[in-house]
Structure 1
Amino acid sequence: MTSARHILGRSTAAALGVALTCGCQQDERQRTAPADPSAPQGPLPPASYPSHAPGIDRIQADPSRFYGKEVRLAGEVDELFGPRVFELEGSGWAFGDDIAVLTDTPVRFADEPLARGDVLIVDGVVHPFGAAEVERSLGRDVGGELVERLKERPVLIAASIRRLREFGPESTWYPDGRPRPVPPIRTVFTIVVADDRARLIGRDVALEREQVRSSQGRGLWIGPGPENQVFVLPASPAEGIQPGDFVQVSGTVRAMPRDARRRWGLPQREGRLLEEVVYVEAAEVRELPGEPLRPGT
Structure 2
Amino acid sequence: MSSQRLNSSMRYQFENLSFDADTGRLTGPGGKNGVTLRPQVARLLQVFLDNPNQVLDRDTLCKAVWDEGTVVDFESGLAAVLRELRRSLAEQGGKEDLIETIPRRGYRLKLDPAAVRRDQAEAPLDRGQVRRGIWGAAAFAAVVLLILSLFWPTPVEPPSDEGQAPGLGQALAILPFEVLAGTDMDPEGAGILLADYLLTELWQNGLDEVSLIGRTSLLAYRDRTDIAAAVAEDLGVNLLLEGSISQADEEWRIDARLLQIPPGTVRWSERLTAPANAPLPVAELAEALVTSLRETWHDPD
Q: Report the TM range for the smaller structure's normalisation.
A: under 0.3
TM superposition score normalised by structure 1: 0.22
Which of 1 and 2 has greater Rg? 2
- Which structure has more relative contact order (CA 8 Å, sep 6+)? It is 2
More strand by share: 1
More helix by share: 2
